[in-house]
């Protein structure tokens, strides 16, 4: 008998909506990521920023954020949380509201 318990994947996890701003140009980006690391927003966002940097430096994506990261380097950017929302659907809705409100220049898909 297999003693492993299969659990349903949670769809109501907390999500963090965050900003990334280029301090040299003032251009910004708004993104969304699942809260991890035991609920640590700071660690979650640090890891997410590392992923953005890795993608910009190792892949040939021509997305606005990647282009800006390559041109200005990571030291030109600051990031932080805007909101924490429970549930993926609600978080995506709030992210779209914030994108419409702030009109971030580095979001490829608005």
Please write the tens of the pLDDT for every residue from 19-36: 999 999 999 999 999 999
Q: How far is CA 31 from the centre of its chain?
A: 4
pTM: 0.86
1 pLDDT higher than 60: no
Q: Which residues pair with 86 in a beta bridge?
A: 14
Helix (H, G, I), strand (E, B) or coil at 74: helix
Residue spans of the domains in the chain: they are: 14-101
Helices (H), 10-103: 41-58, 64-72, 88-102
Residue pair 3/79 in contact (Cβ under 8 Å)? The answer is no
Query: CATH topology for 14-101?
Result: GIY-YIG endonuclease (3.40.1440)
Question: What number of residues does the chain have?
Answer: 110
Element (H, E) at 59: none
């Amino acid at each position: 008998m297999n003693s492993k318990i299969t659990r349903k994947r949670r769809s109501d996890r907390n999500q963090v909506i965050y900003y990334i701003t280029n301090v040299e140009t003032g251009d910004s980006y708004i993104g969304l990521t699942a809260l991890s690391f035991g609920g640590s927003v700071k660690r979650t966002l640090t890891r997410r920023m590392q992923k953005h940097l890795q993608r910009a430096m190792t892949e040939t994506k021509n997305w606005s954020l990647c282009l800006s990261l390559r041109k200005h380097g990571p030291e030109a950017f600051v990031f932080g949380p805007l909101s924490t929302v429970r549930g993926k659907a609600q978080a995506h809705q709030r992210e779209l509201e914030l994108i419409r409100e702030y009109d971030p220049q580095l979001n490829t898909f608005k």
